[in-house]
């Protein structure tokens, strides 16, 4: 399974936003770009192209998507009527690994991706080990019955943490059964904050 394995702290500092919770913690400690000059380095003025590229990279790293996958998602969004940028974010939110993360079954998207790729997750009762699978309204996401016996999932239920977890409005969670249902399409405000999708559209429209 292809995914980014590099340093999240360095990328977060370069982009000025935490691409993961770990990246956010590192950025809070060292809120300046990476490099030997550290906080004393003069920031260069960024061109329009540079701003567009950074915004694309920001979204790509946040959702853990490689460049080729991201471009395919943009092409899919651009063929739809409506606002391309908003539909692109909707497609990113509807990736199976992101849905597992949004349901609270994993603490990070990387962990959610691992749960999916290791075959612990089903969609409508069928084992689905493709993190990029796009869910639709009405799909039911669940932990496989065989996997529920594992300590990780037993602890999720026994701890009661999921009972306190607040899922987005487009998802419905059953914390006891470890299942979730897609009850609506995600809206713009349901996506990661701080992403300017218009700049991404401009990047690919050059």
Q: What is the pLDDT of residues 84-124, one digit of tens each?
A: 999 999 999 999 999 999 999 999 999 999 999 999 999 99
3-class SS of residue 146: coil
Give the CATH class of 95-182. Answer: alpha beta
- Residue 175: predicted pLDDT: 95
Domain 8-92+194-204 bears CATH identifier 3.90.1660.10: no
DSSP 46: P
Same fold: 8-92+194-204 with 95-182 = no
Q: pLDDT digit string (tens) for 136-172? A: 999 999 999 999 999 999 999 999 889 889 999 999 9
Model confidence at 29: pLDDT above 70: no
Element spanning 180, H or E: strand 179-182
Q: pLDDT digit string (tens) for 46-86? A: 799 989 999 999 999 889 999 999 999 999 999 998 899 99
In the chain, where the domains are located: 8-92+194-204, 95-182
pTM for this model (two decimals)? 0.82
Model confidence at 35: pLDDT above 70: no
User: Comparing C-alpha atoms, which of 59, 62, 204, 69 is closest to residue 133?
Assistant: 69
- Residue 185: predicted pLDDT: 96
Model confidence at 11: pLDDT above 50: yes
* Cα–Cα separations (whole angstroms), residue 84 to 65, 66, 108: 18, 19, 27
User: For residue 142, which phi and psi values (nearest 5 degrees)?
Assistant: -145, 160
pLDDT top residue among 120 and 20: 120
- Residue 20: predicted pLDDT: 58
Whether 115 contacts 121, CB under 8 Å: yes
3-class SS of residue 22: helix
Average pLDDT over residues 25-34: 60
User: Comparing C-alpha atoms, which of 139, 134, 138 is closest to residue 90?
Assistant: 134
């Amino acid at each position: 399974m292809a995914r980014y394995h590099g340093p999240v702290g360095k990328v977060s500092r370069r982009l000025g936003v935490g691409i993961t919770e770990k990246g956010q913690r590192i950025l809070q400690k060292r809120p300046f770009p990476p490099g030997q000059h550290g906080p004393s380095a003069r920031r260069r003025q960024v061109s329009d192209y540079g701003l567009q590229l950074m915004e694309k990279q920001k979204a790509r790293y946040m959702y853990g998507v490689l460049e080729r996958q991201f471009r395919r998602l943009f092409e899919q969004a651009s063929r739809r009527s409506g606002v391309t940028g908003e539909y692109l974010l909707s497609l990113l939110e509807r990736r199976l690994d992101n849905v597992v993360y949004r349901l609270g079954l994993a603490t990070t998207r990387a962990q959610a991706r691992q749960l999916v790729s290791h075959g612990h997750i089903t969609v409508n009762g069928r084992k689905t080990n493709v993190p990029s699978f796009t869910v639709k309204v009405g799909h039911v996401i669940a932990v496989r019955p065989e996997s529920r016996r594992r300590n990780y999932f037993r602890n999720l239920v026994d701890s009661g943490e999921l009972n306190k977890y607040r899922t987005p409005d487009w998802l419905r969670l059953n914390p006891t059964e470890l299942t979730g249902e897609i009850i609506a399409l995600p809206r713009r405000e349901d996506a990661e904050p701080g992403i300017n999708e218009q700049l991404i559209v401009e990047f690919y429209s050059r």
